[in-house]
A and B are shown apart, each in its own frame.
Chain A
Amino acid sequence: METLRQLPRCAPARMLAALGVALTLLGAAPARAADTPGGAMPEATPELVEQGRAIYFRRCSFCHGLLGDGNGPAAEFMDPRPRDFTLGTFKFRTTQSGELPTDEDLFRTISRGLPGTGMQSFDDARIKNGLSEAERWAVIAYIKTFAPEFDDPEFDPYQTLVALPENMAPYNADSIAKGAAVFERAKCWECHGRQGRGDGQKAFDRKDDWGFPIRIRNLTHPWKIKGGAEVADIYMRFSTGINGTPMPSFVKALDADERWYLANFIKSLQHQLTGHQVLKALAVEGAVPEAPDDAAWAEAEPMDVRLTGQVVAAPRWQNPSIELVTLKAAFNDTEIAFLLEWDDPFEDLTHNDAAVLDTTELSRVGGYNSYVAANDMVTRQLETFRDAVALQFPVRLPEGTVKPHFMRGAASTPVQLWTWKADLEAGGGRSVEEAIARGWRQTPQVRPDDQSQVSAQAVWDQGRWRVVMKRPLTTGERNDVQFRPGVFIPLAVNAWDGSNGEHGLIMSLSTWYFVLLEAPVPVRVYLLTVLAFLLTGAFALWLVRRAERENREPGGPET
C-alpha cells in the first residue's frame, strides 16, 4: 500500500528514467557504418579536385605516386603493390566484372582500407588524423582525374551495379553445406585448394594485368581478406570478380542464392585465433607422439602464434607468406614433443645457395633502402629456397621478467634455435639443426649432428606443413634449454616459405610466447587440505557434542 501511494510523487523521476532509457536506445541504435557515406558524392568542382590533390600529395602519393601510377617511393617494397589509378582498373567494386567502381566503392575502400595490404583505414572515426567524409570525397574527386574513363558516360558504373540477394539465407549449417557443394561444382578449389589454403594452383603462372605475380588468397585467414571478411563482402567478390587479376565473376555461372550459400561456406573456412600466450603441454603416459598424424595430438590444446615480416634489421621483409603457426606440445617423464602446423601452398624441398641474396647494400647506413623489394630482388619461384621453421628458446631461463631479445637474443643473452629444414627432410637424414644465436648480426652457431638431440618428422599435405620436433626434457649441455615442470619457458617461432623468396633473415617471426609443462599438484597440498577438513570437522563435532551435553544437563537450555 505504501509504495502505491508514493507513485504519483515519483512521476518526475519515472519520466526521467523513461527519457534515459529512450536516450540509451537512441545511442544503441545501429549507427551508420562509417564506410558508407552520408550522401552522394559532391560535384567534382575544380576547388574540390584541388583540395583532393593537396590531401593526396600528403597522404597517398608516397605509395601511389605523384601521377597516380602506383609507383611512389614505397611501392616497390610492397606486395600487393599500390593501385595504379591511371588504367581505371579497380579490384573491389559492386559493379560487374571489368567495369569501373562506383563513388561509394572508392569511398568504402578509402574508409576501411584493404586488410593484409599497405592500404589502411583513412576513416576519421577510426583514425584520429584520418580524413573526414568531405576530405575523402575530395581525394576521390582527384583520384578519378587519373583515369579518363571516369569522364566517359559510356563507362558509367551505375549502369552495371551488382546487388546483394533479396532473401539472404542465414549463416548456418544448412547454408554452409549448400555452399560447400557450390565450391565443389564451381571448381573454386582449382585455385584456392580443397581446404581454401590457396594451394590449388600447382604452378606459378598467375600474374595480374601489370605482369606482377599474384598469390592465390588463403581463404582461412580472415585478416588477409582484402575486400572484407564478412559474408556480404565475400559474396561481392565472386559476383563482381576482381579486376586486373585471374579472379573471375561467377554472376553468369551461379545464381544469387548459390553465390550467397558459397559466401557462407567461405566464411565458415575462416580460422578463429586462439588468443592465449601460454602453450600448455599435454602430459602423456608412455611415449610422446612423434608423428604429425598421431591421434594423441587431438587431445593437446592448440596455441596460435602470429608471425609477421622480419622488419627489425636489414634485410627487412614486409611481404611474409607465413603469418600463423599453430603449436601443440606433449611431454612425459623424459621427453617433450612440439607439433607445428602452418599453411604453405607450395612444398619447397630444395635449396640453392647460389640464389641467396647479397645483403651488403641493404645493410649499409644511408643506403637506398634496407627493405627487400617485393619483386626482382629475390627469386620468388619454386625450387629455389627451402621451406623451414624454427623454435627459439632462451639458453638460460629468465630471472624475473628479463628475456633475450625476441629476434635471436644478444651477445650476453643467447637463444637456442631448433631449425627444421624441408630440404634436409627430403634428403632423408637428420632434418633439424640445433644452433646458438647471440644476436642477429652473427650467423647462428650450428651444433654438429652427432651432438644434437632434437629429432623431427614432417608431412606436407593440401597446402599445410605439419612438423613434430622432439627432445629429451633435460640434457647435460650447458647451452641447452632445460624443460622443467611448472616453469614458464619463453618460446618464439621463425618461419620461411621458400617459394616466397624467404631465406636467412628474410623470414617471418613471432615475439615471445610461453610453453608450460604443468607440474603435478604436490602431495603437501592434499595433506594440508585434509588436515584442515579434519581439524574443523573435529571442532564442529566437539561444539555439537558440548551443546547436546548441556541439553541433557538439568536446568539445560534457557528458553
Chain B
Amino acid sequence: MRKPRIGRFWSVALTLAIIYAAVKWGIPAASREITGLPFPLPVPGTLIFIYMLLAVIALFLLVTFSDENLAEFMHPIKKLLRGGYGRIARAVVMTSIPFLAAWQVYQIVVPKVALPPSLRIQHPSSNFPKSFEALKNPFANPTEAEIAAFVEQAEADQVEFIPQVMSDIEVWIDETGPDHMLEFFPAGPMDAFLAQLEAGAVDDATARAALLEKNLFEGRALYAMNCRPCHGDSAAGDGPMADGFKLRPINFTDAGTLETIVEGYTFWRVTNGGPGLPTEATPWDSAMPEWKLSLTEEERWKIILAEYDLAEKTPRIPESH
C-alpha cells in the first residue's frame, strides 16, 4: 500500500511550521525540564530568525535541486492562481496577502511604548576599593587585650554595653535581682563563662566565646533598631517598609547574597549605601542609606556580625594575593 503523499508544497510548509513551533515553544518547554526552574527560557527573536533563515535556505536548496522538485512544489500554487481550487478560494488567499503584509509593516514601523529597560548588577565591583577586600570583622576576632578587658569587667560585674541596650538590661536587673548581670543570656557560652568566673579560672577560649555572645547581642539590637524596618526581623528583606521600594531590600537568607561576598564588601555597602554604588547598579533606585552618616564603624561591624548570624550565613573568604 502506497503512503498517501501530501505533496512537495505542503511538506515544505509543514516542515517550516514544525521547526518554528519547536524553536518557539519546544525549546522553552524543554528548558523548564532541564533547568527545573519555574519559568521557561525563551529563545531570543534574533535566534528564531536565524533558525528560520537556515531552514528556508535548506528547503530552497531541496526544492530547486531538480526541475521535477520545483515543478511539484509550484504545482499547487499555479493551480490556485489558475482557479483550480475554485475562484472563491483564490479570492480569499489573494486578498489576505496584502492585508497580512500591511499588518506586518504596521507592526514593524509603529512606535512601541515600552518601559526603558532597567538592567542592574547586584554585586558591582567596578568601584569596590581593594583596601576593603581583606578587612576582617574586629568583633568576630577580638584581640587578647579586648578579651582581658572583658574578663576584668565581668569580674567586677560591670560589663559595659552600648547605651541602646542598657535600659532594658537595667530593668531586667531591677526586676530579677541576679547574682551576675550577664545572667540574662540564655544557656550557652555565657553560662560556661560565668561558671568559670565563679570558680576563678577563666580560660581564653571560653572568654572569647562569651565576648562574641555579647557582641552578637549588641549587634542584634542595633540591627533591630536600624536595619529591621526594611530588611525585616528575620533578615528576609520583608520589613514593614519593604513594599514601598521598587528595588526591594535584599533578603539576606537568600543564598546569592551575604555568602557570595567578603565581609569587607558588606562593610563597604553598609558604609556607603545606595549613593556609593556605581552606575551599573542603579544607585538612584536604592534606598540603602549611607550608614557612615549615622553609625560609627564599631556599630556597623557589630551589625554585620549579627546579620550573618541571623541569616545563618558565613562570609566568603577573601582570596589571598
- A residues sitting closer than 8 Å to B (CB atoms) are 50, 53-54, 57-59, 61-63, 65-67, 69, 71-74, 77, 116-122, 127-130, 223, 277-278, 306-309, 311-314, 316, 318, 323, 363-371, 398, 400-407, 410, 413, 486, 488, 508-512, 514, 516, 518-519, 521-522, 524-525, 528-537, 540-541, 543-544, 546-548, 550-551, 557
Contact = CB atoms under 8 A, between A and B. Distances in A.
Interface string B142-183: 000000000000000000000111011101100110000000
B224 A72 contact: yes
6 contacts: A62-B221, A62-B223, A66-B172, A371-B226, A536-B102, A548-B83
Contacts of B311: 129
B199 interface: no
Given A312-B287, A536-B97, A120 B224 contact: no
A127 B119 contact: no
A119 B240 CA distance: 8
A552 to B, nearest CB: 10
Interface stretch (B27-35, B45-53, B184-192): B184-192
Q: Which interface residue of A50, A58, A59, A364 has the most chain B CB atoms within 10 A?
A: A58
A533 B159 CA distance: 87
A272 to B, nearest CB: 15
A366 B299 contact: yes
Contact of B284 (A61, A402, A557): A402
Contact of B102 (A71, A313, A516, A529): A529
B220 A313 contact: no
Interface string B124-154: 0000000000000000000000000000000
Contact of A62 (B109, B224, B283): B224
Contacts of A364: 294
Given A128-B236, A129-B234, A405 B283 contact: yes
A413 B279 CA distance: 13
Contact of A536 (B101, B111, B285): B101
Contacts of B240: 116-118, 120, 318
Contact of A73 (B97, B110, B165): B165
Contacts of A120: 232-234, 236, 238-240
B234 A130 contact: yes
Contacts of A72: 168, 221, 224
Interface of B: 78, 81-84, 90, 94-95, 97-99, 101-102, 104-106, 109-111, 113, 115-119, 163-165, 167-169, 171-172, 175-176, 184-188, 220-221, 223-226, 228-230, 232-236, 238-247, 253-254, 274-275, 279, 282-285, 287, 289-290, 292-296, 299, 310-312
A50 B186 contact: yes
B283 to A, nearest CB: 7
Given A368-B164, A370-B226, A53 B287 contact: no
A79 to B, nearest CB: 11
Contacts of A366: 295-296, 299
A314 to B, nearest CB: 6
A537 B98 contact: yes
Nearest to A314: B294
Nearest to B173: A66
B111 A519 contact: yes
Contacts, number: 242
Contact of A311 (B83, B186, B230, B243): B230
Contacts of B282: 401, 403
Contacts of A524: 109
Given A365-B294, A532-B105, A551-B83, A512 B285 contact: yes
B278 to A, nearest CB: 11
Given A511-B287, A551-B82, A543 B299 contact: no
A403 B118 CA distance: 11
Contacts of A316: 229, 289
A522 B245 contact: no
B187 A50 contact: yes
Contacts of B186: 50, 53-54, 57
Contacts of B244: 306-309, 323, 508-511
Nearest to A126: B236
A278 B115 contact: yes
B111 A512 contact: no
A127 B171 contact: no
Given A62-B220, A62-B224, A514 B102 contact: no
Q: Which interface residue of B83, B113, B168 has the most chain A CB atoms within 10 A?
A: B168
Given A401-B118, A525-B110, A529-B102, A74 B228 contact: yes
Contacts of B284: 402-406, 413, 512
Contacts of A547: 78, 81-83
Nearest to B169: A66
Nearest to B174: A67
Contacts of B115: 277-278, 488, 514
A512 B238 contact: no
Given A370-B294, A525-B110, A488 B168 contact: no
A406 to B, nearest CB: 6
B230 to A, nearest CB: 6
Contacts of B253: 127-129
Sort A-B residue pairs by CB-CB distance and give the 6 closest, nearest first: A308-B244, A547-B81, A62-B224, A537-B98, A532-B105, A533-B102
B188 A54 contact: yes
A121 B240 CA distance: 11
Nearest to A405: B284
Contact of A544 (B81, B113, B290): B81
Contacts of B312: 128-129
A369 B296 CA distance: 11
Contact of B241 (A122, A311, A404, A536): A311
A65 B279 CA distance: 42
Contacts of B295: 365-366
B303 to A, nearest CB: 12
A509 B39 CA distance: 33
Contacts of A312: 274, 287, 289
B221 A74 contact: yes
Contact of B172 (A54, A67, A535): A67
B171 A65 contact: yes
Nearest to B118: A401
A121 B117 CA distance: 33
B310 A529 contact: no
Contacts of A127: 234, 236, 238, 253
Q: Which interface residue of A66, A307, A366, A403 has the most chain B CB atoms within 10 A?
A: A66
Contacts of A551: 82-83
A535 B100 CA distance: 12
Nearest to B254: A128
Nearest to A529: B106
Contacts of B279: 402
Contact of A365 (B221, B275, B293): B293
Nearest to B294: A370
Given A403-B285, A486-B111, 4 more contacts: A67-B176, A118-B228, A528-B105, A547-B83
A301 B98 CA distance: 35
A129 B111 CA distance: 48
Nearest to A403: B284
A529 B105 contact: yes
A544 B83 CA distance: 9
Q: Which interface residue of A400, A407, A547 has the most chain B CB atoms within 10 A?
A: A547
